[in-house]
Amino acid sequence: MKSVYLLSGFLGSGKTTLLVKFIEYLKSKGLRPAVIMNELGALGFDSDAVEGDVPLRELLDGCICCSPAEKTEAQIQQILYQEEFDVLLIETTGAAHPVASLDVILSPLFADQFELKGILTVIDAKRFLQRDALPIQTKALYLEQIRHAHTLIVNKTDLVDRDELSELLFTLQQLNNSAEIIEAQHASIDFEKLTSSRKGTASHQPTRIGKELRLGSRLDTLEHSYPQYLVEEWVQSLPDSVYRIKGYIQLPSTTHPHLFQYSYGMTQWMPEDVKVKTQLVLIGESIKTVPSLDTFSLRSLLELLYPGRERIAEFTTRTELEQFIDEELLDVRTHPRTRLNLEAKLLQIEEKIQALDCSSWQQMHFLDFLSMRYKHLSTQSI
Ligand SMILES: Nc1nc2c(ncn2[C@@H]2O[C@H](COP(=O)(O)OP(=O)(O)OP(=O)(O)O)[C@@H](O)[C@H]2O)c(=O)[nH]1
């Protein structure tokens, strides 16, 4: 897996300055960086800042988040397959929204080869204090870049005084209390700390303010085919903090997978005519805690099977479902743990599942799960 850092921040805040220093640091550690630069306008002036031995692709004339996704995808694929590197640094334009940028970077075609290590937002200290002078939409975007960052780099601190800086830091904490905030001049920061920490936040640093990561992504590999109705039910059940899902899903009825897209409540299905890996990329806040399609399917059947058991609705991981069904199979409350009792309980649950009023696909899915748990338990000493 290759590490990816997204460098975000307003025009002129110091992203290129940060990029150049980040490259220097990575090289000093024997790591090979590659760069994707997105610039507005047809000429890539900033790319001159990157030395010739670093693989570089430029996304010119348009912002990463609104230029055609295929074009960006092609650039990333090109760098991925033609160049050798360990860390990919992506400098976005000041006009890019972090969610939209992540969206184009994490194509389901190659998302399994990248690990998003951090969204670094560079802030021009002086300009931030003058943010109220910006047009409303520009200011809103500015604040979004701050809100979604894993690390906030307050740059150009030489241009503000101590009081202004304190006010600025206070406001930034209000806007994003999960990001680490680093003060800098000419984007000189401790890259060692930045890169050694989880998701670009220095968890070992005592002064760290944040607790929980915000915007992030997750890659779910799909082991089964899934009926369309179930996928639709799953996405409708998700919290608003899931902004985007995209990837390939195999329907039980078709030869090849469908390209599936979800954003802000809307879904789209497009048939593919080739075999592709069935996996989904999810982008959103606290995305690790969102139940997968697999968990959702099993959980909704479990809710039918045991109506009124409140804890089931809270399950978000497969492990929780496994623990629950293991306890049921072993019938810990009333029966001694013997193989005979385990078999009897399995049959009982199977019968109940077959009598449920739900799709045969979902029943099959659950029966597979149940039989896996039965095998697991029967190999243990009971
Ligand atoms: N005074 C001061 N100037 C800085 C600092 N960091 C960067 N600059 C200057 O600010 C200007 C913009 O820096 P860049 O690194 O090009 O900023 P950018 O965010 O890449 O700019 P765009 O690509 O236009 O969005 C340059 O002239 C830098 O030399 C700093 O800490 N203090």
The CATH architecture one would assign to domain 219-288 is 2-Layer Sandwich (3.30)
- Cβ partners under 8 Å of residue 281, min gap 6: 106, 107, 108, 111, 217, 218, 219, 244, 245, 246, 247
Q: Indicate the pLDDT class of residue 190, thresholds 50, 70 and 90.
A: very high
For ligand 1, whether the C-beta of 127 sits within 6 Å is no
Query: Strands (DSSP E) along the chain, which ranges?
Result: 2-9, 33-38, 56-59, 87-91, 114-124, 151-155, 180-183, 215-221, 242-249, 258-263, 266-271, 279-285
Greater pLDDT, 105 or 222: 222
Q: What spacing in Å lies between the alpha carbon of 14 and ligand 1's midpoint?
A: 4
- The alpha carbon of 17 and the centre of ligand 1 are apart by a number of angstroms equal to 6
Atom of ligand 1 nearest to the CA of 13: 19
Average pLDDT over residues 16-33: 95
- Nearest residue to 93 (alpha-carbon basis) of 53, 58, 133: 58
Which pLDDT value is given to residue 189? 97
CA proximity to 151, closest of 174, 120, 128, 173: 120
Residue 66 Cβ contacting ligand 1 at under 6 Å? no
pLDDT score for 202 = 35
Identical topology for domains 2-213 and 219-288:
no
Beta strands, E only, 60-169: 87-91, 114-124, 151-155
Predicted structure pTM score:
0.76
Atom of ligand 1 nearest to the CA of 18: 15
The closest residue, in CA terms, to atom 28 on ligand 1 is 14
Look at the block and give the residue holding tokens 């204090």.
129
Closest by CA position to 41, among listed 18, 23, 67: 67
Q: What is the structure's pLDDT at 43? A: 45
Mutate to test the pocket of ligand 1, among 6, 8, 11, 16 (most ligand atoms within 8 A of CB): 16
Query: How far is the centre of ligand 1, averaged over its atoms, from the C-alpha of 186 (Å)?
Result: 7
- Is any atom of ligand 1 closer than 6 Å to the C-beta of 80? no
| Domain limits, the chain | 2-213, 219-288, 291-382
Kindly state if the Cβ of 15 falls inside 6 Å of ligand 1: yes
Express each pLDDT in 136-185 by its tens digit.
888 888 899 999 999 999 999 999 999 999 999 999 999 999 999 999 99
Q: Which ligand 1 atom is the nearest neighbour of the CA of 49? A: 16
Q: Measured between alpha carbons, how far is 142 from 98 in angstroms, rounded to an integer?
A: 10
Contact assessment for residue 284 and residue 244, using Cβ atoms and an 8 Å cutoff:
yes
Residue-wise pLDDT tens digits, 321-363: 999 999 998 876 666 677 788 888 899 999 999 999 888 999 9
What's the average model confidence in pLDDT over 252-275?
Answer: 91
200 has a pLDDT exceeding 50: no
Any ligand 1 atom below 6 A from CB of 186: yes
Report whether pLDDT(130) > 80. yes
Residue 226's φ and ψ, nearest 5 degrees, are -135, 135
Q: How far apart are the CA of 213 and the centre of ligand 1, in A?
A: 27
Residue closest by Cα to atom 25 of ligand 1: 11
Q: Which atom of ligand 1 is nearest to the CA of 184?
A: 31
The answer regarding whether domain 2-213 maps to CATH 3.40.50.300 reads yes
First to last CA, the chain: 41
Q: Percentage of residues in the chain with pLDDT exceeding 70? A: 88
What pLDDT does 122 receive? 96
The overall average pLDDT reported for the chain is 86
DSSP state of 214: -
* Residue for token pair 């968990």: 295
Q: Is the sign of the CA dihedral 177, 178, 179, 183 positive or negative?
A: positive
Residue 119 β-bridge partners: 6
User: What's the 156 CA to ligand 1 centre distance in angstroms?
Assistant: 8
- What ipTM was assigned to the predicted interfaces of this complex? 0.98
Q: Which mutation among 7, 17, 186 tests ligand 1's pocket best, with the greatest number of atoms within 8 A of CB?
A: 17
Protein residue closest via CA to atom 2 of ligand 1: 156
Instruction: Return all residues near 52 (Cβ < 8 A) that are at least 6 apart.
Output: none
Q: Could you read off the pLDDT of 28-51 as tens digits, one per residue?
A: 999 999 998 876 544 455 556 677
46 lines ligand 1 (CB under 6 A): yes
| Residue nearest to ligand 1 atom 6, measured at CA | 186
Give residue-wise pLDDT tens across range 45-102: 555 667 777 888 776 555 555 555 667 778 888 888 898 999 999 988 777 888 888 8
Q: Please list, residue by residue across 28-54, b when 16 or more beta carbons sit within 10 angstroms of its beta carbon and e when fewer do.
A: eeeeebbbbbbbeeeebebbeebeeeb
- Please report the pLDDT score of residue 330 as a whole number: 86
